[in-house]
Structure 1
Amino acid sequence: MMKKRITWIILGFSIYALFMGLYLFYWADFGVPDAYKGTAADPATFMTERELQLSEEYSRYRSFLSFLAIPFEWIIYLGVLGFGLSRIFKQFSEGISKKKIVVVPLYILLLTAFTWVFTFPLQYWARSLSVKYGINTQSFSGWMKDEMVSFWINVGLTSLVIGVLYALIKRFRKKWWLAAWGLMIPYLAFMMYIQPVVIDPLYNDFTSLSDKALEEQILDMAETADIPANRVFEVNMSEKTNAMNAYVSGIGSNLRIVLWDTTMDKLDDDEVLFIMAHEMGHYVMNHLYGNLIGALGTSLVGLYLAYRLLGGMIRKWGKSWGVSSEADLASLPALFLLFSVMSFIASPVELAISRHAEVQADEYAIEMTEDVDAAVGSFQTLTVNSLNEVNPPFLVKYLKYGHPTMMERLIMLNDYKKNTQAE
């Protein structure tokens, strides 16, 4: 029976990978519609022939890897359960100590390490691609350092969350999902509060913005937007990447306005101001809190569905997995599998909401700066610098894009400029 299941899983994954490869490399069209050729939305007007070729190649490979990673994660969880590894991890942990404060972190460490080892080839392939195409500039040792930081942060936070979750499952057999959701509210708010000042500095050094004149302009914009900030933080990202970014993150006294040095180096000041106005738009329109509310809503639904489905899975396959009940820590891979599948199913809706929020932030930035040319220039430079596809295929857009496509954003700017001139 096990051999048959493995055969079907390998066959299914192979067919899926073949389909995605054919779709991305042969069937999908990355070009722009004829109606927009020659406009600001046409990459041929601001990218060289070589840049166009590299952009299309990189986009196809990157998307292919991203699509492979989704079911591959599910296969790992099924393998951990099907081969009895989850039960072995738990027994080993309990052999070290019977105390839950030791058992849970040790089990999480073993499961996380096993998962990391099997996903490492895909991660390394993705990194190699970004290096090959000139996006990633970080040394291998630096990249591995960040990987290890992420690994241990993941182990620590997951141990805390899972320890509490399984204590709730054991105590509240039928209402654990509701109790867990109640604790999600302070947890997510706390994470938003500490992210900018505790977690982010583990990866990068944050300093005051070196360009004081630019900082003053950004802070003037922040004051206009009623954002309580008295400094702008600069991150030295040029050691790691050629990509550009800026953001406003955190809540309360830990709110931070952050600008990557790559953004400042590659854009003119007016273009940087448009990017910062866009990020401020997210704050002004309460998108940060909207994300929190959205996460709480989806977690409520996800936890309830997990409660309904996990028991059925264990009743059907628990004996072969070596899992006795929902409260058995060895059931965790099944829970992770459920969350991952549900997240994938919900992603088109979540991404559509995110794209709508990004459109709102773009519109806010245009109204604040009144500089359409700077907006166009920033988007075009971002496209060239990151080798982004201007018009991604349907599946890539609706399953991966949390922002409008560059073509959509540039068309919107072009229409805005026409309407302004007509007035």
Structure 2
Amino acid sequence: MRKKFLMWSAIIYTTYALGVLLYLVVLSDPGVPGDVQGSASDPSTFLKAGEREEIQEYATYRHLLYLLTLPVEWLIYTGLLVFGLARALKKAALYKLPLYVFFLSGLVWVLTLPISYMGRRLSLSYDVSVEPLSKWLQDHLISFSLDTLMMIIAALVLYRLIRISAERWWLYAWLLLVPFLTFFMYIQPVLIDPLYNEFDRLSDAQLEDSILSLADGSGVPADRVYVVDKSEETNALNAYVNGIGDNLRIVLWDTTLRSLEEEEVLFIMAHEIGHYVKNHLLKSLFGVLAGSFVGLYLLYRLLPVILHRFGRAFRIKGVGDIASLPLILLLVSILSFVAQPVGMAVSRQAEQTADEYALEVTGNPDAAIGAFHEMIRHGKSDVHPPTLIKYLRYGHPTMFERIKKAEE
């Protein structure tokens, strides 16, 4: 089985990699449609030739890195199962679930860290990222610690529920997920986000008043605007509204504040306020909960089938054996990937609605177009990405679509 796994993994991955190269390098056309050439959505009208080439080159490398490394996590989990390492990790952890989760999480983190580092080097080489290695490592260690802690809690609860009810554990797990995700949305702005960056109140009182006037007119309960110090990490531009209840925050990246005119900043903030007005935060929560319900049920159905067929080869006694955790994580990752295009489509629709709201509130399509142009320039954004990339990765409409909408 191990030799077959290695042989078929090599054959399938090589075929997949060749297909990715063919699709991105040969078959994909990075140009915009002929009927919009010369318009504000045509990069040749607002970017120099050298800038266009650099952005397209960066986009191609970035898409290649994503697609070529996409199956790596699946191969790691499958390899752990096929080679019996899931069982070996369990013994090394002295059959203690928290220690087992820590070993498993640490192993995957170490094996995938080079991929993250390649992404960092790519962003640095094209002047999108400016993050020092020390800050990059610090952020990754914080993420690893938080992810591992949450995985330990989730695993303890999950395996406890499996022991309590072999037939209903998936439903009980989902019911517990509802308050957990709601609570996480509430605490994220004040407890999680500050672990990565510093947040200060916007020092430009006039601009803050303008943004808060927009927020007040839209019913957003905010009394200040925050600025986050993203310039120590990136040259890209962004802003967001997150949190619920009295922890709701309106946040501007300092890169956005420094790079855009006031009217362009107001459009960006009107877009973010639009998410609140249209209840996108709550709708997103409901969407995650609905997807989790389906995912947990599928997990409940698939686990016994796979273990019946491969349990002896994987040296896993049953669903309640903690050595089954790599299989659970593998299935969760695959199911998440399968659901990703749906999630991205829903997100793109929400972002389009927020754009429309901002255009209606500000009445300034020129500011919108100017903001989009600067976001493309500073973030080296792919204006018209390949269709597959759009459906897999883009939670926003493409920049081509957003600018075209503003022109209309």
TM-score scaled by length of structure 1: 0.95
The one-letter code matched in structure 2 to 1:202 is L
Tell me how large the CA RMSD over aligned residues is.
0.9
Cα distance in 2 between the residues matched to 1:340 and 1:275: 33
Distance, in Å, in 2 between the alignment partners of 1:94 and 1:173 is 25
In structure 1, what is the equivalent of residue 159 of structure 2? 166
Q: 2:18 and 2:107 mapped to 1: Cα distance?
A: 26
Query: Whole-Å Cα distance in 2 between the matches of residues 245 and 13 of structure 1?
Result: 35
Correspondence list, 1:268-283, <5 A: 268-283=261-276
TM-superposed deviation, 1:44: 0.6
Aligned partner of residue 94 in structure 1, secondary structure: coil
Q: Name 2:212's counterpart in structure 1.
A: 219
Shift of 1:360: 0.4
Structure 2 Cα separation of the partners of residues 89 and 167 of structure 1: 20
SS in 2 for 1:238: helix
Instruction: Name whichever of 110-119 and 271-280 sits farther off.
Output: 110-119
Structure 2: how far apart are the matches of 1:386 and 1:66?
A: 17
* 1:350-394 per-position Cα deviation (integer Å, ceiling 9, x unaligned): 111111101100000011111111000001110111111111111
CA drift at 1:34: 0.7
Contact 1:236/1:261 (<8 A) preserved: yes
Give CA-to-partner distance per residue, 1:184-217, whole Å, 9 cap, x none.
1001101101111111000000111122211111
- SS of 1:320's equivalent in the other structure is helix
For residue 151 of structure 1, give the secondary structure of its aligned residue in structure 2: helix
Q: Which residue of 2 aligns with 1:13?
A: 13
Identity of aligned residues (%): 48
Deviation at 1:104, TM superposition (A): 2.2
Give the corresponding residue for 2:255.
Answer: 262
Structure 1: runs of 5+ lacking an equivalent: 96-102, 416-423
The count of residues paired between Structure 1 and Structure 2 equals 408
1:290-343 CA distance string (max 9 Å, x none): 000000100000000000001111111111111101011110111111111111
How do 1:316-327 and structure 2 match up within 5 A? Answer: 316-327=309-320
| Residue of structure 1 aligned with 2:297, choices 304, 309, 317 | 304
Q: For residue 29 of structure 2, what is the aligned residue in structure 1?
A: 29
- The offset of 1:109, in angstroms, is 1.1
**Cα distance in 1 for residues equivalent to 2:232 and 2:365:** 31
2:112 counterpart of 1:119 = yes
The Cα of 1:78 is off from its aligned counterpart by: 0.2
Q: Deviations over 1:106-142 (max 9, x none)?
A: 1111111111111112111111000000000011111
The one-letter code sitting in structure 2 at the alignment partner of 1:274 is F
| Distance in 2, Cα, partners of 1:114 & 1:7 | 23
| Aligned mate of 1:183, from 176, 183, 204 | 176
Structure 1 Cα separation of the partners of residues 337 and 231 of structure 2: 32
1:85 pairs with 2:95: no
Runs of 4 or more above 6 Å deviation: none
Quick one: which of 376, 397, 400 aligns to 2:393?
A: 400
Note if 1:287 corresponds to 2:288: no
Partner of 1:134: 127
1:154-174 deviations in Å (ceiling 9; x for gaps): 111111111101111111101
Identify which of 217, 228, 232 aligns with 2:221: 228
- Distance in 2 (CA, whole Å) between partners of 1:239 and 1:253 is 29
Gaps of 5+ in 2: none
| One-letter code aligned to 2:65 | L
**Secondary structure of 2:227's partner?**
strand
Query: Structure 2-normalised TM-score?
Result: 0.99
Name the counterpart of 2:73. Answer: 73
1:63-108 deviations in whole A, cap 9, x for unaligned?
Answer: 111112321111011011111111111122226xxxxxxx222111
Distance 1:331 1:211 in 2: 54
Q: Which amino acid aligns with 1:245?
A: N
DSSP-derived class of the 2:251 partner: strand
Contact kept, 8 Å, 1:105 with 1:155, in 2: the verdict is: no
Equivalents in 1 of 2:107, 2:235: separation in Å?
Answer: 32
Match of 1:336 in 2: 329
